[in-house]
A and B are shown apart, each in its own frame.
Chain A
Amino acid sequence: MASLTEDSATAGEEQGGVRRRDFINVAAASFAGVGAVSVALPLINQMNPSADVLAEASTEVDVSAIAPGQAIKTIFRKQPLFVRHLTPEEIAAAEKVSTSELRDPQTLEDRTKPGHKQWLITMGVCTHLGCVPLGAAAGEIKGEFGGYFCPCHGSSYDTAGRIRKGPAPKNLMVPDYSFTSDTVVKVG
Chain B
Amino acid sequence: MSFPWANEYKPSTAFTRYLDEKLPLPRFVYNAVGAGYPVPRNLNYFWNFGVLAGVALMVQIISGIILAMHFAAESTVAFASVEHIMRDVNAGWFIRYAHMNGASMFFIVVYTHIFRGLFYGSYKPPREMVWHLGLVIFLLMMATAFMGYVLPWGQMSFWGAKVITGLFGAIPLVGEPIQTWLLGGFAPDNAALNRFFSLHYLLPFVILGVIVLHIWALHIPGSSNPTGVEVKAEQDTVPFHPYYTAKDGVGVAAFFIVFATLVFFAPNFLGEPDNYIPANPMSTPANIVPEWYFWPFYAILRAFTVDFLFIPAKLLGVLAMFAAILLLFFLPWLDTSAVRSGHYRPLFRKFFWFGLIPCIVVLGYCGGSHATDGIVLISQIAAAYYFAHFLIILPIIARVETPKPLPNSITEAVLASNAGASLQPAE
Q: Report which A residues bind B (CB closer than 8 A).
A: 47-50, 53, 57, 73, 75, 77-80, 124, 128-132, 151-154, 167-169
The reply to whether B189 and A78 contact each other, CB–CB distance below 8 Å, is: yes
Question: How far does the alpha carbon of A73 sit from the alpha carbon of B280 in the complex, in Å?
Answer: 13
Q: Which of B273-321 contact A (CB under 8 A)?
A: 281-284, 286-288, 302, 305, 307, 312-314
Q: Is B159 an interface residue (CB 8 A)?
A: yes
The reply to whether B184 and A47 contact each other, CB–CB distance below 8 Å, is: yes
The reply to whether A132 and B186 contact each other, CB–CB distance below 8 Å, is: no
Question: How far does the alpha carbon of A16 sit from the alpha carbon of B305 in the complex, in Å?
Answer: 61
Contacts of B181 in A (CB 8 A): 47-48
In the complex formed, the residue of A with least CB distance to B177 is A48
The reply to whether A151 and B286 contact each other, CB–CB distance below 8 Å, is: yes
Question: How far does the alpha carbon of A48 sit from the alpha carbon of B181 in the complex, in Å?
Answer: 5
The reply to whether B282 and A128 contact each other, CB–CB distance below 8 Å, is: no
Q: Please give the distance in Å from B74's CB to the nearest CB on chain A.
A: 14
The reply to whether B180 and A78 contact each other, CB–CB distance below 8 Å, is: no
Question: How far does the alpha carbon of A167 sit from the alpha carbon of B315 in the complex, in Å?
Answer: 11
Known: A130-B162, A130-B163. A77 touches B371 (CB 8 A): no
Q: Please give the distance in Å from B383's CB to the nearest CB on chain A.
A: 15
Question: How far does the alpha carbon of A169 sit from the alpha carbon of B371 in the complex, in Å?
Answer: 17
In the complex formed, the residue of B with least CB distance to A150 is B284
Contacts of B182 in A (CB 8 A): 47
Contacts of B302 in A (CB 8 A): 153, 167
Contacts of A131 in B (CB 8 A): 159, 162-163, 284, 288
Q: Is B346 an interface residue (CB 8 A)?
A: no
The reply to whether B191 and A50 contact each other, CB–CB distance below 8 Å, is: yes
In the complex formed, the residue of A with least CB distance to B166 is A130
Known A73-B282, A75-B281; 11 more pairs at CB < 8 Å: A49-B186, A53-B185, A77-B187, A79-B186, A80-B281, A124-B282, A130-B162, A131-B284, A132-B284, A151-B284, A169-B313
The reply to whether A78 and B162 contact each other, CB–CB distance below 8 Å, is: no
Contacts of A79 in B (CB 8 A): 186-187, 281
In the complex formed, the residue of A with least CB distance to B159 is A131
The reply to whether A153 and B371 contact each other, CB–CB distance below 8 Å, is: yes
In the complex formed, the residue of B with least CB distance to A131 is B284
In the complex formed, the residue of A with least CB distance to B286 is A151
The reply to whether B186 and A77 contact each other, CB–CB distance below 8 Å, is: yes
Partner of B314 from A47, A124, A152, A169 at Cβ < 8 Å? A169
Question: How far does the alpha carbon of A130 sit from the alpha carbon of B286 in the complex, in Å?
Answer: 13
The reply to whether B191 and A49 contact each other, CB–CB distance below 8 Å, is: yes
The reply to whether A129 and B281 contact each other, CB–CB distance below 8 Å, is: no
Q: List 14 A-B contacts (CB under 8 A).
A: A49-B185, A53-B189, A77-B185, A78-B189, A79-B281, A129-B288, A130-B169, A131-B162, A131-B288, A132-B282, A152-B287, A153-B371, A167-B302, A169-B314
In the complex formed, the residue of A with least CB distance to B182 is A47
Contacts of B166 in A (CB 8 A): 129-130
Question: How far does the alpha carbon of A169 sit from the alpha carbon of B314 in the complex, in Å?
Answer: 7
The reply to whether B281 and A152 contact each other, CB–CB distance below 8 Å, is: no
The reply to whether A80 and B163 contact each other, CB–CB distance below 8 Å, is: no
Question: How far does the alpha carbon of A136 sit from the alpha carbon of B314 in the complex, in Å?
Answer: 25
Contacts of B371 in A (CB 8 A): 152-154
Among A75, A167, A168, find the residue whose CB has the most chain B CB atoms closer than 10 A. A167
Contacts of A124 in B (CB 8 A): 282
Contacts of A153 in B (CB 8 A): 302, 371
Q: Is B41 an interface residue (CB 8 A)?
A: no
Partner of B184 from A50, A75, A132 at Cβ < 8 Å? A50
Q: Is B195 an interface residue (CB 8 A)?
A: yes
Question: How far does the alpha carbon of A47 sit from the alpha carbon of B305 in the complex, in Å?
Answer: 32
The reply to whether B184 and A49 contact each other, CB–CB distance below 8 Å, is: yes
Known: A48-B180, A48-B181. A132 touches B187 (CB 8 A): no
Contacts of B191 in A (CB 8 A): 49-50, 53
Contacts of A132 in B (CB 8 A): 282-284
Question: How far does the alpha carbon of A57 sit from the alpha carbon of B185 in the complex, in Å?
Answer: 10
Question: How far does the alpha carbon of A79 sit from the alpha carbon of B283 in the complex, in Å?
Answer: 10
The reply to whether B314 and A167 contact each other, CB–CB distance below 8 Å, is: yes
Q: Please give the distance in Å from A105's CB to the nearest CB on chain B.
A: 14
The reply to whether A152 and B288 contact each other, CB–CB distance below 8 Å, is: yes
The reply to whether A167 and B313 contact each other, CB–CB distance below 8 Å, is: yes
In the complex formed, the residue of B with least CB distance to A73 is B282
In the complex formed, the residue of A with least CB distance to B304 is A167
Contacts of A168 in B (CB 8 A): 314
The reply to whether B184 and A78 contact each other, CB–CB distance below 8 Å, is: no
The reply to whether A78 and B286 contact each other, CB–CB distance below 8 Å, is: no
The reply to whether A53 and B184 contact each other, CB–CB distance below 8 Å, is: yes
Q: Please give the distance in Å from B110's CB to the nearest CB on chain A.
A: 27
